[in-house]
Structures are given as C-alpha cells and as structure tokens.
Amino acid sequence: MPTTSPPDAGLAPRGAGGQAGAAPRPARDRDAAGLGRPRAAAFVTPALLLIAAFLVFPALWTIYLGLTDYRLTGLAAADPQMVGLDNFTDALKDDSFSHSLGLTLQFVVGSAVIGQAGLGFLIAWVMRNRRGALRRLVEALVLTAWILPSSVIAFLWIALLDRDDGTLNAALHTPGTAWLLEHPMLSIIVFNIWRGTAFSMMLYAAALGNVPPSHLETARLAGASGWQQLRDVVFPRIRGHILTNLLLISLWTFNDFTPFLLTSGGPEDKTEVMPVFIYKLALSNGELGFGAAISVLMLLINLVIAVVYMTLLRRRKEDAPA
Amino acid sequence: MGVLTRRAWAVTGVLALSFGVAACGSDSEGSGGTIELKIAANAISGGKNAEEADWIENWVIPHFEEAEADRGVDVKVTFEPSGVDDEQFKSRLALDLQSGSGPDIMSLDGIWLGEFAEAGYIKPLSETSPDFESWDGWDQIPEAVQQLAAFDGDLYGIPWGTDGRVLFYNKNLFEQAGLPTDWQPTSWQDILDAGEALGSLDGVTPIQLNAGTAMGEATTMQGILPLLAGTGEEISSDGSWTGASDGMEQALGLYEDIYGGGLGDPQLQQETQGRDKSFQEFAENKIGILAEGDYFWRSVVNPDNGVAPMEDRDEAVGYALIPAAQPGQGVNGQDFVSMSGGSVRTLNAASDHLDLAWDLLTFMNSAEAVTASVADTPKITARTDVNEQVLADDPMLTFINEQVLPITIFRPADSLYPQVSTLLQEATAAVVDGDSPSQAAEDYQDGLEEVVGGADHVTS
Amino acid sequence: MSTEATTDLEKHSSPGRGGPPPDPSATGHLAGLAGARQAVRRIGFYVFCCLLLAFFALPLLWLACAPFDRTPTITASLPDFTLQNFDTLFDNPYAMRSLGNSLLLAAGTGVLVVVFAALAAYALSRVRLPGRDALLYTLLLLSSIVTGTAAMVPLFNLAFELHLIDSQLGVILVLTGGLLPSAIFILKDFMDGTPRSYEESAQVFGASPLQIVRHVVVPLVRPGLATIAVWSVAQVWGNFLIPFLLLRSPEKSPAAVVMYTFYTEGGQPDLALISTFSLLYSLPVVLMFLLVSSRYGFRFHGGIKR
C-alpha cells in the first residue's frame, strides 16, 4: 500500500482480497453494481442535503457566533459585537479551559481508549468461540448499558455510588466512601466504560470473525504465544476496525455530556469535562459567543485526535509483517 | 461594529437550502377575529408547580374567556406548560423571545428581569400599558414586594408570590440535646452553641448551612446572603457590588466555624444530590438546624405531598428567625434578617395584543384569581388581602407573612447577578474545603472584579 | 483467498478445541499438564464472566427496586412493595403519551438515518466521488459541534425560519442530520467489507442499481443496518436538548423531556414517579434490542459468513 494512501485506506482491510494490502486499489473501489457517478451522486444526495441543512449550516453559524460576544439575554443579546478572535485567545489563556481540556483527555484516554476499547476487545476475544446462553447473557447486559437513556442511567449510578447506602459500598464493605467526591474522575471513567463498552465489543466481535481460524491455528502450531498470535495474526487483520473504533469512541467520549448528570462537573470543577464546561458557559452563564468559540476549539482538538490515529495506524501497518 | 443579524443568517440559510419542509406556521391571529393569547410558565399539570398549571388551565382561561365574551371580545387563551430546570426554562424562553415570538404573558424569576429588560424582550409597564397605574391591585401589594418586579426604577410586571427564609429546627433532637423547643437564637453564637449541644447526639449533623456550587442558588439564598445581611451589608448597593468586605469575611467566618468545627457535614455540600439528601436527613431526624425558605415547609416535609414527608411535621419542626451576627448588627440595624425571592408575570414586548394581555395579566392578579390559585395549598402571594385570608390556617406561613416579610430584603435584578452568585457559592465551597475566610474573600474579590468590569464597581 | 474458502475453514475448525488429534507419543505427564492448564483457563474464564456480569448488572438494581417501593430513595433497597407508583404515573396527563411520542421520534429518525445512510454509504463505498474521504471526516467532526449546547441558537433559529418549531418533523430532521455522519461512516465500513461478486452477477442478469441494493446488498449488511437502527433509536430515545428546544406542546414531548417535569419547584426529584417512569421508559428500547437481536443477529459482520 502506498504511503500516500488516503485516510480510509486503513478502513477496509477486508476488501475483495483476503491478504491485507495485497489487493490493488481499483478492485476495492470497484463499482460492482454499475452505479456510475450520476446515480451514485443521487444516492448520496438525500443524506447530504439533510446534513447540509441541519448540520453544516448550524455548525458554520456556531463558528460565526464564536467570533462575537453574543449572549441570549442582557445587553449583548440586543446588540452583539464582533470580537474577532478574542474569545479564542481568552479561552487559551483561561485556566479553566486548560483544566477542562486536561480532564477531558484523561476521560477519553481512560474510559474510551483504554477502558471501552480494551474491555470490548477482551470480551470479544474471550467469547469468540462461545455460543449459547452465557455469551448471550453477557452481550445482552453489556448492550443494555449502552441503550438505556442517560437520564435513567444517572439515577442508577447515583444509587450505586451513594455514600451512605450505595450498592457498591455494600458490596465492597466500604461504608461511608463517597466515590463521586473522593475519586471523581475515576468514577466517571468507570461509569463511561460501563456505558459504552458495547460498541467496541460488537465491533471487535465482528472483526475477529474475519480472522481466518486457520491462520491462528498455524501460528499456534508454530509455537506462538497468545500475545504473539494477537500481534502477528489478529492485529494486522483488524487494524481498520481498530481505527474506526478508536476514532468513533474517542469523538463520542470527547463530546459526552452524561457525566454532568452524575456530578454536575463537581466536586468543585474536578469533573468539568469539555461538554460540561461549555454547557455551564452557554446555559448557566449565558455566554454563548464564548461557548461557541470553545466548541470550535474542541472541534480542532478532535481533528488532531483523528489525524493522530490515522498516522499512527498507517505507520504501524508499514512496520507490520505483510 | 454591529454583526449580522439573526434574520440575515437565517434567510441566507433558508435560501441556500430551498428545502421542501415548509410546514405551515400558525399566526397568532386566528380566523374570524378571534384574538389568541398565550401564557407560559415553568409549571405543568402532574409535575413541577402543578397547582399553578392547573389553576391557569382550569380557572384563569375559562373565566377570562367568559368575561371577555360578555364584553363582546372573542379571545382564545392557551397555556404553554413546561417542567424543567429554571435555567433551561429561561434559555428556551429567551430563544423564543429573541426570534420575535414567544408567549404574551410569562412567569419570570425576579432576578431575571434585568437580563430580559436589557435584551429588550420586556419593556416597562409605562410603555406597554400606559394606564397601568390605574390598576386597583397595586394598593394590595406592599412597596417592598413591588420591588421584585422593578428594574432600574421601572416596573416591568406584576409580582406574583414571594417567600422568606428562616432557621428550621428539629424539636425532637432539641429535646434530646436538652435545648428549649421554642428556640429563637439572637446571635450567631447562639446558633453555634445549639450546634455544640446537638453534636453530643449520636449520628446527628447539628447544622445544615448550604455551601458550594452543587447546591446552586440555594447556597446563595439560604446561606451566604442572609449571613451577609446579618453583618449589616447587602450584596449590591448604589450600583456597586460588595467584595471582600468585613461583612463578607465575617459571613464566611461562620462557615468556617460550622464546617471547620465539626458542626456540619462538608461532603454533603459537594454532592450533586446534597440538597435532596439534606432534606431526607432532616426528615429522618438526623439534622438539627437547617436554613431554608418556606418552600421547605410547604413542599418538602409536608406530610401530604412533600418529597421528604414528616408525619409529625406540625409538632416536630420548629422555625426561628435568622439572627444578625450580633443583635442590631443586621441590615438597617435589624436584630433579625431574611432574604426573599419570587416570581413576576410580565408581558412580552413583542406581543401583538398588549392591551388585552394587560387585561389578562390584571385578571390573573385579581384578588379572586389569586385566592383561587392557592385554594389547595396555601402559599404567600403578593397580595396582602389574599394572604390575610388564605394563610390564616397555617401558622408557619402566617409567621413568614407577619414576622419575616417585614424584615426581608431582595436580590438585585441585575443581569450580572447570576455570575456573582456563582462566585459567592465558590467562596463558601473554598471555606468548607479548608481555605481561610480571608483567602476565600480575596479570591472572590478577584473573580468579582473580572465579572463586573473592574475594581471601580466593587466595594470592599 | 476467496470468501468461500473462509466459510469452509470456519465450518470445520474451532481453535482451542479442535485442531489435530493429540500426538500419540505424548506422555501422560504432558497430558496432565495440559489438562491442568485447561482447567485453569476454564476457571479464569468463569471468574471473568462473573465479574463482568456483576459489573454490568449491579447498577441496574435500583431500576428493579425503586419503582415498587412505597417511599423510594436515591439508593437501592429492598422495596416496601407497592404498585401505587404505577397508578400515580398512569394518572399523569403526559407520561404515557410521551412514550408514544418518543416512539414516533425514534422510529422516524431511525428510518431516515438507516435509509439515507445506507444509500450514501453504498455509493461512497462503490464509486469514487471526488473528496469523498475528506468530506466524511469533516462531517464526522462537525457533528460534534452541533450536538453540543453552543449550537442551540443556530438550531433554534433555523427551525424557527423553516416553521419547524413545535413540529415533531423538525425534531426528526435535526436529529437525523446530527446522526447521519456517524451512521454513514460505520455503514461504509460495512459495505467495503462485502464481496462484489454477487452484485456483478445481478448486474449481468440486468438488475437495476436500486434493485441490486435492495435485493443483494441489503441482505448482506442486514446486521449492520439493524445495528445502526438500534443505535440511532437509542440516541433519539435519550435525547433531551433538541426536543426540549424545538417542541412546545407537552402533548408532543417525548419521554426524555417529560421525565424532567417530575421535579418540585425547588428542583427536588419526585423519586416515586421518576423511578417508575424510568422503568417504563427503559423497557421499549430493551425490548427492541431483544427483538432485533433475535431476528437479525445484532452485531457487526463484515463479509459473508456461515
């Protein structure tokens, strides 16, 4: 695969050819149904129209608001002023912004990259050859955590972590431990692992289904340890899935507002991750212009994350044995 | 330089989209000369503020429509209920108003008036309803309560109800601790002494004085502001905000005495559900003294429909005036102090039928209507004549009406107030967390100068 | 390697258990060691499963207790059993209707997302449109701005100008716009993984592209479509901000909005109503998941299997 391959080159290692990277590009993009560009454009149009209207347009407007001192009430609502890049420079100088960014990175790395992806892969790996009730039970429970509404979930976790009569304190015999106060970040990280592991689990389960068992068998007979099998046989084949997975769960976690329902950003501001920070600015303080500017900064950070994943995984691919 | 207006953006967008989703919008003008009016409040049947919602739907609307029909005016009134957090309600209302739509009559928290007035969403009554002074109801609303609806010297609406703050105490616990059950402290030291006595009881938190940001406005209203008033200061006076003043430091000092001295539960102040839990603990005889508004009596420990009901409320729950730090040290030289809030009904400046909306507003605030609104659960209304009737059966609310309201003060209806309030909450949190009062006051002053635009607007 | 080969291999090999027969020359000692290892692995597996089940089940306890408790608190405890809370809830004028509204919003959004995302993902997977990848990533990133609080003014004003305030269609369109990029992204990954040979055969037999998508591609990626459907329904089911901002009549409000009405004027939750409502609010999505899971096999599949 040429090094200049476009970003999605790593996304589809399961193309028509089984050997990763062996298939020539035209085959992968082959227009098998004879769609042709005009019809392809027609297929894409409804989605793009909706996205343009209800996503791109409001997003551009938000970016524009980030250049003003707009507020929903008060004098700045009647007569908003253009402030240029002031909001951005103010934000970058603001301690609470960098504090919040630090927490968000901890949250993303801890709960998404390590937690959800790790646990999700582990479950998929352990369950890969299982069929039957146990696997169905595990999957059903993990998925329940994923699809329940967050306002309900918040009550569940408050009941779990309560200081006086919390279920966790009863289970661990640690009466009086105020988890959300004494270990606030750890609590919301574990919470988000619970909440979001399902997606990674499903994705990796599918990815592992695409690893030919014969290859694993060969490696095993050749004396490869479990770890070596993973590294040499499994990993190269599911690299595209890993990229998709990490990219999506990182973005989702970065923009996840649910911790607010558990901690309101507290105690003090110890769990004030970026979406909570923006919520407080925009809704509680009414500083919509400033909030919008921070949203844009958040977008740029998300962009950096995406680029990092793509370059990281592409380089790994070159290193890996073909 | 001004910026692109909302409409310019929207029109650009709509043109660019030329999207086929034009659902039919309904104009406020109905067919056949029927005038439509809309009332909005953060109240909903079967949920938040249900009594108010039911009253508007079942009493106000039919009675008003009928009365207008008798006059030959064909009017249709609708009610737009909501049941959300006050901040969310405020944001959505502001969204409606900035687009030029929204209800004709709306209920606002008194402290939002400044923001809404500055944004041009509401106008002084002298502009919207030139003959507003001729309404006979003003005579029944005390001057102090009218201030709830005032901003910059103008009245913007009609105040609807108010409240007062006291110290609630658990008589069962007081008896166990050997304290008098008809307790009335006259200084902060008296409170601390009672706290010490209660501290001897097992599993009892002596005092709950709200602190920190998790409690939100409850920290400001039931905590730091009444204390500040007890030192003779107000949060803002003559257009200047109170910074790290002596009074502020003294008020924060009481937090240090309580939470540093083991008389309060510091962790409870940080928990998201801290306020709910403090109510529950009070109802379970685990908290001795708790500063709250009359809301606590009506809706929390109320044996009928409270969220933390106490079967023996009338016997077990005592209430006392909040003392000044020392007798005579309170604002205006008072011995006792209180803070009050309340809601105001205002007219949408963009309403198409301001005259009729004003008629509806006065109709809603007539003695008959106000009496009907509190028929089931008595509440303190803005009208003295109604209060005299409906509160008679409730000793607690009568106490508030007769003893507390005369000494109470209100928060400034300033657009900066919400941010100042957050800073105050953070200052109390810092003290509970172990900072010295002077340090917390200093940090507060720094934040205050930033928010209100420089040291010239701060007194210390 | 052809897909057929994969299928064959999958059929008769199951690593860990199958494989070649034991070497006859192996001593009993070695076999014993292997047996012990096997036992340890089995124990490890069950311990892992128990911990996993405990971790994922423990928080759900409150939902099983509180709705049936006479005086529910914020913690899970053995209920003082009553069904009174359900009666109170059924009397609420908006509670049950809101579940129907949620269903409408979720179904509407789900259908739009699945259909539009499938068409777009297929076209993007099969035909190289200019700027395709950059476009996908940009949209994915932009979707994070629009789901945040800061975008509420643009979203509201857009809906206002389009006369979509207090319209459930408006909510559906806004939510669909926000969910589409992720859905396309995931589905394109799926489509990339399906073999082209069937489509080519269908084309030889003269099927139109739309027919090919309906009869050849959709069956292949059905589990993926099911997953996207469940995912988008779950997203809509829990969304509070958009319906709250855009809808006005409580008769149209979904459950996520109505749930917030069960608080007092002072912001205290009425736990009897909230816990009971939480249970009723959760059941439809869980049932949907179970249904989809039993009918379509709820997971991602790349390529043809079995």
Residues in B closer than 8 angstroms to C243, CB to CB, are: none
Where does the pLDDT of residue C201 fall: very low under 50, low under 70, confident under 90, or very high at 90 and above? confident
- Residues B292 and B251 placed together within one structural domain of the fold: yes
The correct CATH number of A90-319 out of 1.10.357.10, 3.40.190.10, 1.10.3720.10, 1.10.645.10 is 1.10.3720.10
Start-to-end Cα distance in chain A = 10
Indicate whether B396 belongs to any domain.
Answer: no
Indicate whether C218 belongs to any domain.
Answer: yes
Q: Which of B46, B84, B273 sits opposite C93 (nearest CB)?
A: B46
CA C70 to chain centre: 34
Is B198 in contact with B190 (CB distance < 8 Å)? no
**A212/C129 CB distance under 8 A:** no
Interface test with A, best of B96, B213, B414 (most A CBs within 10 A): B213
Of the listed ranges B10-24, B396-410, C145-159, the one predicted with least confidence: B10-24
**A194/C227 CB distance under 8 A:** no
**A72/B88 CB distance under 8 A:** no
- Show the CA angle centred on residue A25, arms to residues A22 and A28, nearest 5°: 90
Q: What is the mean pLDDT of residues C134-162?
A: 88
Q: Which of C158, C233, C259 sits opposite A57 (nearest CB)?
A: C158
Q: The CATH number of the domain where B234 resides is what? A: 3.40.190.10
Q: What is the pLDDT of residue B305?
A: 81
Q: What is the pLDDT of residue C26?
A: 52
Of the listed ranges A37-51, A56-70, C97-111, C180-194, the one predicted with least confidence: C180-194
Q: What is the pLDDT of residue B288?
A: 96
Q: What is the pLDDT of residue B330?
A: 96
Residues 215-274 of A with CB under 8 A from C: 216-217, 220-221, 240-241, 244, 247-248, 251, 254-255, 257
Indicate whether C175 belongs to any domain.
Answer: yes
Task: Collect all residues from B whose CB is shorter than 8 A from any CB in A.
Answer: 1-4, 9, 13, 16-17, 19, 87-88, 90-91, 94-95, 98, 112, 114-116, 118-121, 212-214, 267, 270-273, 277, 415, 418-419, 422, 426, 429, 433
Query: Is C260 in the B-facing interface, judged by CB distances under 8 Å?
Result: yes
- Residues B181 and B138 placed together within one structural domain of the fold: no
Q: What is the pLDDT of residue A315?
A: 60
- Show the CA angle centred on residue B11, arms to residues B7 and B17, nearest 5°: 145
Q: Smallest CA–CA separation between B385 and chain C, in Å?
A: 25
- Residues B59 and B106 placed together within one structural domain of the fold: yes
Indicate whether B419 belongs to any domain.
Answer: yes
Q: What is the pLDDT of residue C247?
A: 95
Count the neighbouring beta carbons within 10 Å of the beta carbon of residue C71: 13
Q: What is the mean pLDDT of residues A63-73?
A: 92
Structure tokens at B402: 């007769």
Residue C254 predicted with pLDDT over 90: yes
- Residues C191 and C48 placed together within one structural domain of the fold: no
Q: What is the pLDDT of residue B241?
A: 96
Residues in C closer than 8 angstroms to A66, CB to CB, are: 150
Is A104 in contact with A250 (CB distance < 8 Å)? no
- Residues B355 and B419 placed together within one structural domain of the fold: no
How many CB pairs below 8 Å do chains A and B form together? 99
Q: What is the pLDDT of residue B16?
A: 52
- Residues B214 and B329 placed together within one structural domain of the fold: yes
**C74/B273 CB distance under 8 A:** yes
- Residues C39 and C151 placed together within one structural domain of the fold: no
Q: What is the pLDDT of residue B427?
A: 96
Q: What whole-number distance in Å separates Cα of residue A285 and Cα of residue C150?
A: 12
Domain residue limits at C290: 93-296
Residue B102: DSSP 8-state:
S
- Residues C171 and C99 placed together within one structural domain of the fold: yes
Across chain A, mean pLDDT equals: 84
- Closest chain A CA to residue C223: A206
Q: What is the mean pLDDT of residues A150-179?
A: 90
Rounded-to-10 torsion of CA B435, B438, B442, B443: 10
Residue B260 predicted with pLDDT over 90: yes
Indicate whether C18 belongs to any domain.
Answer: no
Q: What is the mean pLDDT of residues A115-122?
A: 95
Domain count, chain B: 2
Q: What whole-number distance in Å separates Cα of residue B377 and Cα of residue B375?
A: 6
Q: What is the pLDDT of residue B382?
A: 94
Q: The CATH number of the domain where C290 resides is what? A: 1.10.3720.10
Q: Exposed, middle or buried, C304 (CB in 10 Å: 0-12/13-18/19+)? A: middle
Q: What is the pLDDT of residue C32?
A: 77
- Residues C127 and C207 placed together within one structural domain of the fold: yes
Q: What is the pLDDT of residue B103?
A: 96
- Residues C146 and C266 placed together within one structural domain of the fold: yes
Pick B5 or C143 by higher pLDDT: C143
Across chain C, mean pLDDT equals: 83
- Closest chain C CA to residue A137: C53
Q: Give the residue from C82, C114, C147 where a domain finishes.
A: C82
- Residues B331 and B436 placed together within one structural domain of the fold: yes
Interface test with A, best of C55, C78, C145, C301 (most A CBs within 10 A): C145
Of B156, B109, B151, B158, give the one whose Cα is nearest residue B136.
B158
Interface test with C, best of B48, B79, B284, B343 (most C CBs within 10 A): B48
Residues in B closer than 8 angstroms to A286, CB to CB, are: 91, 115, 418
Q: What is the pLDDT of residues A250-283, one digit of tens each?
A: 999 999 999 999 998 878 889 999 999 999 888 8
Indicate whether B98 belongs to any domain.
Answer: yes
- Closest chain A CA to residue B427: A268
Of B327, B421, B392, give the one whose Cα is nearest residue B114.
B421
Indicate whether C21 belongs to any domain.
Answer: no
Q: What is the pLDDT of residues B353-386, one digit of tens each?
A: 999 999 999 999 999 999 999 988 889 999 999 9
Helix (H) or strand (E) holding B443: helix B437-452
Q: Smallest CA–CA separation between C192 and chain A, in Å?
A: 6
Interface test with B, best of C89, C98, C162, C274 (most B CBs within 10 A): C162
Residues in A closer than 8 angstroms to B13, CB to CB, are: 53, 57, 61
- Residues C228 and C283 placed together within one structural domain of the fold: yes
**B95/C161 CB distance under 8 A:** no
Q: Which of A61, A166, A207 sits opposite C75 (nearest CB)?
A: A166
- Residues B328 and B357 placed together within one structural domain of the fold: no
Is B326 in contact with B187 (CB distance < 8 Å)? yes
Residue C158 predicted with pLDDT over 60: yes
- Residues B192 and B109 placed together within one structural domain of the fold: no
Domain count, chain C: 2
Q: Smallest CA–CA separation between C67 and chain A, in Å?
A: 12
Interface test with C, best of B79, B93, B95 (most C CBs within 10 A): B95
Indicate whether B16 belongs to any domain.
Answer: no
- Residues C167 and C260 placed together within one structural domain of the fold: yes
Indicate whether C110 belongs to any domain.
Answer: yes
- Closest chain C CA to residue A150: C238
Indicate whether B395 belongs to any domain.
Answer: no
**pTM, rounded to two decimals:** 0.88
Domain residue limits at B92: 31-155+342-373
Residue ranges per structural domain of chain A: 90-319
- Residues B256 and B183 placed together within one structural domain of the fold: yes
- Residues C152 and C41 placed together within one structural domain of the fold: no
- Closest chain C CA to residue A254: C144
Indicate whether C164 belongs to any domain.
Answer: yes
Of B139, B67, B69, B141, give the one whose Cα is nearest residue B345.
B141
Residues in C closer than 8 angstroms to B21, CB to CB, are: 162, 164, 169-170, 173
- Residues B61 and B195 placed together within one structural domain of the fold: no
Q: What is the mean pLDDT of residues B26-40?
A: 71
Q: What is the pLDDT of residues B393-427, one digit of tens each?
A: 899 999 999 999 999 999 988 888 988 999 999 99
Indicate whether B248 belongs to any domain.
Answer: yes
Q: What is the pLDDT of residue A231?
A: 86
